[in-house]
Amino acid sequence: MKRFIVGLAIIVAFSMPGPIEASVDTRRTPVVLAVEKAIPAVVDISTKKKIRVDRSPFLLFRTPFDDFFLPRGLFQDTYVGTSLGSGVVVDREGYVITNSHVVSYGEGEGAEPDEILVLLHGEDVQRKAEIVGRDPAEDIAVLRILGEPPKQYLPLGNSSDLMIGETVIAIGYALGQSHTVTQGIISQLGRYIEGDNGVVLPNLIQTDADINPGNSGGPLINLDGELIGINTAIATPSGGSVGIGFAIPVNRVRKVYNYYVLRQPPLEYRLGIQFQDLSPTLRMALRSKIPGFRSVKDLSGVLVTNVDPSGAASGQLEPLDLIQLVNGRRIRSGDDIGTELVPVNASDVQIGILREGKSRNVSIALKPGSARASRQSGPKDNNQWLGMELKPLDQKWRKQWNMDSSVEGLVVSRVANNSPADRAELEPGDIITEIAAPGLANAVFRVSDLTDIDILRRKLANAETFIIYFYRYEENRGWSKWRTEIENKPNE
């Protein structure tokens, strides 16, 4: 009997099935599928820049004595500044979206790095990239990878239907660890934070997916592997992630991309208005200071802050109007107003506003908004600005002045006497490359065709002065970069 029991036990032991091997397919969760779709388009970004700092010839640190007796620039040390960040390729031509602060060393002249390198997932060699345009006020920059474009890219998604509690994934160069993936949820929507430069970033996505130094500029994706935001900041008492991170909604990113890549100005430029999103503080101020808004239950939309007298919306919209509908679509923030609502070739737009608490609808005629066709030559009535005549920097001008092909800008062909341009000491032959507005968070705008000037006229209508960066040719010196301040007033 004992022999039978032992024999039976041996038979049973050898007849039982072995360990079950789990299939890879059963472990390929929605998170894995989303990461597999997105990660080939994510890039690590590193920059370098030679930085000169004034020093004392006597002591380790510069003192007030040195400032008084020794002019700045006389004694300097040079060191190489570096930065690390992330980005995402968004089209087949190799354009990359990242944060402006990832590829800048301050603002104004000399802020751009000397070298930008990107590393794609699965590659061992870094590629060079250049800045196409950046908007410091939105903390968004557009880069282009030089040479052959990468094969993988992640198109811009949609951030208008995001849900609190929705699963999201952040990918980036976290603390120097390439293509790090973290998972979390959308903790809240519509957050407002103030950056180190004093610029308020509105309507942000808050997430508890770990975002660390180096994640800036990287993608935030949903479970469908769609790009819904660009990671930009964290709230932390320690410098590391504590589960409160912020991303710029992709619908706002699309506006910057459309402007610099597709040459399509957003609706506010075409209307000739400026507006801002309703922060909780601004909403409270409206209710307390404007009686008509006190009893309004749904105080949402975007607030018109300025209307250009020569713009399309002049006489139709007024400062303190609250835009709540565009072509029948409900507007919660400026990010909701995109080309899908108002195509660039639309001839008019229907806008629902709230004025002192009362609703009304207005129809505004628009000019075609696409600037791609006018990249080489802008509107004929647009080449006069602040007393100077401007022309595109075409091949004829490049050959005549032996200008490097990498430089883009507008050539000053004539300057009127006693005009703002004349008083700013601009001269025929100067090549304007950038325009900055000191009162607008020192935002710097590149100019490469006459359409850019038209857009800046509207966007910066209230600026009292501009800073103009330009190249000037001098005998025995060649081309050098200059800057000047110019009054924003009509030619007298």
Query: Between these two residues, 222 and 25, which has the higher pLDDT value?
Result: 222
pLDDT bucket at 368, cuts 50 / 70 / 90: low
Q: Where in the chain is the domain with CATH 2.40.10.10?
A: 39-145, 167-258
pLDDT at 439: 56
pLDDT at 374 over 70: no
Query: Between these two residues, 294 and 197, which has the higher pLDDT value?
Result: 294
- The three-class DSSP label of residue 139 is coil
pLDDT at 6 over 60: no
pLDDT at 68 over 80: no
Q: Give pLDDT tens digits for 33-61.
A: 999 999 999 999 999 887 666 555 555 55
Quick one: which H or E segment has residue 451? Answer: helix 450-459
Sign of CA dihedral 24, 30, 35, 41: positive
**203-221 average pLDDT score:** 93
CATH superfamily to which 39-145 belongs: Trypsin-like serine proteases (2.40.10.10)
pLDDT bucket at 73, cuts 50 / 70 / 90: low
The residue whose two tokens read 């002249």 is: 109
pLDDT at 378: 32
Quick one: which H or E segment has residue 422? Answer: helix 420-423
Q: Give pLDDT tens digits for 216-249.
A: 999 999 999 999 999 998 887 777 778 899 999 9
Q: Which of 139, 321, 336, 449 is catalytic?
A: 139
Strand partners, 481: 471
pLDDT at 1: 45
Which CATH fold would you assign to the domain 167-258? Thrombin, subunit H (2.40.10)
Q: Which of 83, 100, 104, 216 is catalytic?
A: 216
- The three-class DSSP label of residue 104 is coil
Task: Compute the C-alpha angle 22/24/26, nearest 5°.
Answer: 70
pLDDT bucket at 183, cuts 50 / 70 / 90: very high
pLDDT at 119: 94
Measured CA to CA, the distance from residue 201 to residue 205 in angstroms comes to: 11
Measured CA to CA, the distance from residue 294 to residue 269 in angstroms comes to: 30
Q: Considering just the CA atoms, what is the radius of gyration of the chain in Å?
A: 27
Per the annotation, the verdict on 216 as an active-site residue is yes
pLDDT at 490 over 60: yes
pLDDT bucket at 403, cuts 50 / 70 / 90: confident
Per-chain mean pLDDT for the chain = 81
377-487, which class in CATH? mainly beta
- The CA distances from residue 248 to 111, 231, 254, 367, 466, in Å, are 22, 6, 11, 29, 28
**80-106 average pLDDT score:** 90
Q: What is the DSSP string of 19-70?
A: PPPPPHHHH--HHHHHHHHHGGGEEEEEEEEEEEEE--SSSSS--HHHHHHS
Instruction: Determine which of 166-180, 245-259, 361-375 has the lowest per-residue pLDDT on average.
Output: 361-375
Q: What is the DSSP string of 178-211?
A: EEEEEEEEEEEEEEEEE-TTSPEEEEEEEE-S--
Query: Between these two residues, 147 and 452, which has the higher pLDDT value?
Result: 147
Q: Which of 91, 100, 101, 241 is catalytic?
A: 101
The CATH number fitting domain 267-365, selected from 2.30.42.10, 3.40.50.1980, 3.40.50.920, 2.60.120.620: 2.30.42.10
Instruction: Determine which of 75-89, 138-152, 179-193, 215-229 has the lowest per-residue pLDDT on average.
Output: 75-89
pLDDT at 287: 85
Measured CA to CA, the distance from residue 492 to residue 237 in angstroms comes to: 54
**208-222 average pLDDT score:** 93
Q: Where in the chain is the domain with CATH 2.30.42.10?
A: 267-365, 377-487
Measured CA to CA, the distance from residue 80 to residue 53 in angstroms comes to: 11
pLDDT at 382 over 90: no
